[in-house]
Structure 1
Amino acid sequence: MRNFIIKTGSILVLCCCCITKVFAQQEPIYSQYMFNGMMINPAYPSMDESSSLTAVGRNQWVGVEGAPKTLTASFYTPIKATNTSFGVSLVNEKITVNSQTQVNFNVSQRVKLNEKTYIALGLKGGMAQFREDNSQLSTTDPVFAQNQSYWKTDVGFGLMLFTDHFFIGISSPTFQSFDLGGKVNKVEAKAHYYLQTGYLWTINDNVKVKPNILLRQVTGNGFAYDINTNVLLKNLIWLGASWRSEKTLTGIVQVQATKNLQIGYSYDTPMQSNLKGAQSVSHELMVNYRFAWSKWKVVAPRYF
């Protein structure tokens, strides 16, 4: 089994390394992605045996006019005795005069390889409305004289290999995008690829350590990465820190308020910034609620 995991990881890394074209990041970036995995990998819900509702609000680059503001809500649930999970997510993001609203539907299926190891495949399909409020611009260019609105659809996929203490996954939540209608000035959607892995070490009954690595790549753009470590204390509080390749340091605190409710906050600060005269830090708040549909069902702790 160990050789199988090593070989599989090598194949996934090789697949990611074969992607080589560049453009700007178009999907939202999350600091608490390790607890909001369906937004990155459509196969993620298969790792959880409980239903889960997550809301995330992100205010990026505070003090910078027109900086990204993102609101996300996602829900997934397993279908009893089928090893299939269904999910839905809503995303609203505004950057300068541009904004988008997405609705995505998700299905994932897991297969048991042995007593401790599973593999899961996830598929995502969605639709997004893009809007340009060009009335805010001071320009005489007739191309930008009027507000615009148009629609796109997109499909994505994810693959995840996991145990109770380890996972590795490759995904492209926006693999292919299709225009609807014929409006001008449409943003050309680029495929996004992610490779993510994590491991949970149990130090003792009160302390667990979970390192994560996330590689991100947009078609036409070089690799970006996040290196993250979280420490769980007494199954109540997660304390974590991340280093992003954009030279950003992140601190994370998450509290298990009840057996069902988890609240998290992250604070991003750039170590090197060209955003002069602005605070340029980022705040992210996450609330997660996991459901026990009957009083006899116990919601197991979520480590990934």
Structure 2
Amino acid sequence: MRTVIRAGIMILLLNISFRAAAQQNIQFSQYVFNGLSVNPAYAGYKEDLYVNATYRHQWAGFPGAPRTGGASIDGATGNDKKVGLGMQLLFDRLGPQDALSLYGSYSYRIPLDDEDTRRLCLGIGAGVTQYAIDGTALAYVDNDDEAIPTGKQSVWVPDARFGIYYYTSKFYAGVSVMDLFSLYTDASRYTWKGNNYSTIRKTQHMYLTAGTMFQLNEMLQLKPSILIKEDFKGPTSVDLNAFLLIGEKIWLGGSYRTNAKLWKKGNLPKDLSQLNAASAMVEFYATPTFRIGYSYDLNVNKMAGYQGGSHEMSLGFLFPSKKFTVQNPRYF
């Protein structure tokens, strides 16, 4: 009975989340250190081969809490580094539901000056997502309930993404649209022995990003940035970030995320409460080519008292070429 009650609470919260913010896409807190997760045009930004891995445990201590992870690899090819290539493997699990995605990215990187300090990048991505539900993770009300699958049921759905990314040594800005095919495909509906049921699926999102660097003194640099995420259904999500770079070795900072009504949406209730969250992050360069990151997120709303926050770990490896010379440090 206790398991059934917990499952009911989770379903209720998922319905509330759906009303408040629609079906939100995967987003890591540490996207600020790997822009490929929000924009395919970012592929090849660091030029040399870069591998990143991230694992996120959201709402620690909450039954059926989301667990999300991913690994990516990208780099630039050719003597002029005009082509960036990348690949991502992502998984997202929520109770008995999970999604597994594989994406490839292509970026054409246009130099805008002779010193190669500015580039405009145009990127596209394509991939597939497997949506699944695991019947063995569901609680039975009656023994041998035929409405519950005996194993995992899944379906594969193709997808695409597009982005533009501009950067200099001290500034960047980008726009991207993810999950382009989600408006035309529906992987959320399943049939099992005449019973219909559904799972949460990704929906189309647009991301607007921008950031810059300020030199405070010989040891300190400040990097403020912003991300606006729009799903065209729920409230607009806004991230405000600020980081200090200490001695080119340690990043310390945080992020504040809130929902905002930037324009009128007729499907939103007028009394909709904001979903706010705050993050604290640290990124440490153990070597010039190896980065370790950790972030802790806490909801700043009524849900804060029911879960232990969210933990996220990341690792980054840069494999420099034999001609490895960075005239402009890759701060973004």
**Which category describes the TM-score, using the shorter chain as reference length?**
0.7 to 0.9
TM-aligned CA deviation for residue 46 of structure 1: 4.0
Secondary structure of the 2:295 match is: strand
CA contact (8 A) 2:23 2:200 kept: no
Match of 1:216 among 204, 225, 229: 229
What code does the residue aligned with 1:298 have?
T
CA contact (8 A) 1:46 1:109 kept: no
TM-aligned CA deviation for residue 209 of structure 1: 0.5
TM-aligned CA deviation for residue 220 of structure 1: 1.4
In the TM superposition, what whole-angstrom CA distance separates every residue of 1:126-178 from its partner, at most 9, and x where no partner exists?
11111101331335786544542111110001111221111111101212234
Q: Structure 1's 166 and 277: CA in aligned 2 closer, same or farther, altered over 3 A?
A: closer
Match of 2:317 among 263, 276, 289: 289
Question: Normalising to structure 1: TM-score of the pair?
Answer: 0.85
* Runs of 5+ unmatched residues, structure 2: 1-19, 192-197, 259-274
CA contact (8 A) 1:46 1:120 kept: no
Aligned to 2:247: 234
* Residue 97, structure 1, aligned to residue 124, structure 2: no
Aligned to 1:262: 291
Aligned to 1:69: 67
Aligned to 1:130: 131
What is the distance in 2 between the residues matched to 1:206 and 1:275? 36
What is the distance in 2 between the residues matched to 1:169 and 1:143? 46
CA contact (8 A) 1:153 1:179 kept: no
TM-aligned CA deviation for residue 207 of structure 1: 0.9
CA contact (8 A) 1:123 1:156 kept: yes
- Which structure has the larger Rg? 2
Question: Normalising to structure 2: TM-score of the pair?
Answer: 0.78
CA contact (8 A) 1:228 1:240 kept: yes
CA contact (8 A) 2:295 2:312 kept: yes
Aligned to 1:193: 206
Aligned to 1:172: 177
Q: Structure 1's 195 and 277: CA in aligned 2 closer, same or farther, altered over 3 A?
A: closer
What is the distance in 1 between the residues matched to 2:122 and 2:82? 11
What code does the residue aligned with 1:129 have?
Q
Q: Could you tell me the percent identity over the aligned residues?
A: 30
What code does the residue aligned with 2:238 have?
Y
Match of 1:148 among 145, 148, 153: 153
* Runs of 5+ unmatched residues, structure 1: 1-21
What is the distance in 2 between the residues matched to 1:82 and 1:161? 15
CA contact (8 A) 2:176 2:206 kept: yes
Aligned to 1:16: none
TM-aligned CA deviation for residue 94 of structure 1: 0.7
What is the distance in 1 between the residues matched to 2:127 and 2:295? 28
What is the distance in 1 between the residues matched to 2:318 and 2:201? 37
> RMSD value over aligned CA atoms?
2.4
Secondary structure of the 1:274 match is: helix
What is the distance in 2 between the residues matched to 1:237 and 1:282? 22
What is the distance in 2 between the residues matched to 1:275 and 1:239? 24
Aligned to 1:13: none
Aligned to 2:83: 84
In the TM superposition, what whole-angstrom CA distance separates every residue of 1:247-287 from its partner, at most 9, and x where no partner exists?
211101111110100111001112223265432x0000010
CA contact (8 A) 1:190 1:219 kept: no
Match of 2:302 among 257, 273, 278: 273
What is the distance in 1 between the residues matched to 2:75 and 2:201? 33
